[in-house]
Structure 1
Amino acid sequence: MRIVFICTGNTCRSPMAEGLAREILGPDIQVESAGLAAWEGEPASVQAVQVLKEKGIDLTSHQARLVRREMLATADWIVPMTGTHEMQLKEAFPEFAPKIKRLGSWVRERSHQDISDPWGGSVERYRRCAEDMAALLYEVKTSLEGQR
């Protein structure tokens, strides 16, 4: 199983989701991340690195990547952070629409939840973002276990 997390710049949300997913989903699921408007090679934001370090997850070697068709083709799931990201991905890559599912839509009662962008915000804002993502990733785990 391979999951690609997508956000805008691949320096905050999607790298945090990737790091958290490695811990929550376990070693049997491959995870990576990319951005719709990423500047290739940019590091994860200082706040993202700090917040995940508090959880024992190292993002210091992360380098932003731009979404590429080849990356999406080999993914089982493409998981964007917002409805806008989801729409942009489905428009740009319609052939992958069935496997594009926003992180907030894995839980029926939160089906319209977006993961808001903490970029430029306080460490506390990044912590809240990470906690929101972690809660949703546990739901993804439950859903994937039900598919096996």
Structure 2
Amino acid sequence: MGFKLLFICTGNTCRSPMAEGLARDMFGDMVQISSAGMSAWEGEEINAHALEILKEQNQDLSQHRARRITEELMADADWVIPMTQAQEESLKRLFPQYETKTRCLGNWGDSQKDILDPWMGSLNVYRQTAKEISELLSELKEKLRLEG
């Protein structure tokens, strides 16, 4: 398990943990997957709606605790995958040495797409976000096969 993906969102309680859980389900043991947040409150628990959706996918992230992005996490990942174009730009400014391995989840296919933050939304909003993430993860998986 040498390949490492790091998913990034704002607080590391909604989108990036959902991407982490969904990617673990999709990629299996061939990839090491983790997540972090741009402005995470260290130790915060995963959002209840995100946790419920992941449990529906047989992924238990109940032990997940939010963490803030660090240079060490950036250095350790093969790909750093933020949820929005703005987060990608911010990461490239903060960590220019890792610019070539930072690409928004919505930039792996033909369209450039942001995953909007479902925070404070209903369970259905989170379910739609998970569906979008899952579709983009399929594109990512396909591209990594081509590039890998």
TM range (shorter): over 0.9
How far has the Cα of 1:147 moved from its partner?
2.1
Q: Distance in 2 between matches of 1:125 and 1:54?
A: 15
Percent of aligned positions that are identical: 47
**Quick one: which of 54, 57, 75 aligns to 2:56?**
54
Equivalent residue number for residue 79 of structure 2 = 77
With normalisation by structure 1, the TM-score equals: 0.96
Tell me how far apart the structure 2 counterparts of residues 84 and 100 of structure 1 sit (CA, whole Å).
Answer: 12
Structure-1 separation of matches of 2:53 and 2:147: 31
Aligned partner of 1:133: which letter? I
Equivalent positions of 1:8-23 (< 5 A) are 8-23=10-25
In 2: Cα distance, 1:19 partner to 1:63 partner = 13
Give the AA of the match of 1:137. Answer: L
Matched residue, 2:90 = 88
Q: Which residue of 1 aligns with 2:119?
A: 119
Deviation (angstroms), 1:28: 1.1
- TM-score of the superposed pair, with normalisation by structure 2: 0.96
Size of the aligned set, in residue pairs, is: 146
- 1:99 corresponds, among 96, 101, 113, to 101
Selected match of 1:28 from 23, 27, 30: 30
1:55 positional shift? 1.4
Displacement of 1:56 after TM fit?
Answer: 1.2
**Structure 1 unmatched ranges of 5 or more:** none
RMSD: 0.7
1:14 Cα shift? Answer: 0.2
**Cα distance in 2, alignment partners of residues 41 and 64 from structure 1:** 5
C-alpha separation between the residues in 1 aligned to 2:70 and 2:98? 12
From 41, 45, 55, give the equivalent of 1:39. 41
List per-residue Cα deviations over 1:27-68 (Å, max 9, x = no partner): 110010000100000010001001111111112111000001
* Residue deviations 1:90-143 (CA, integer Å, cap 9, x gap): 1100010000000000002x22x0000000100000000000000110111111
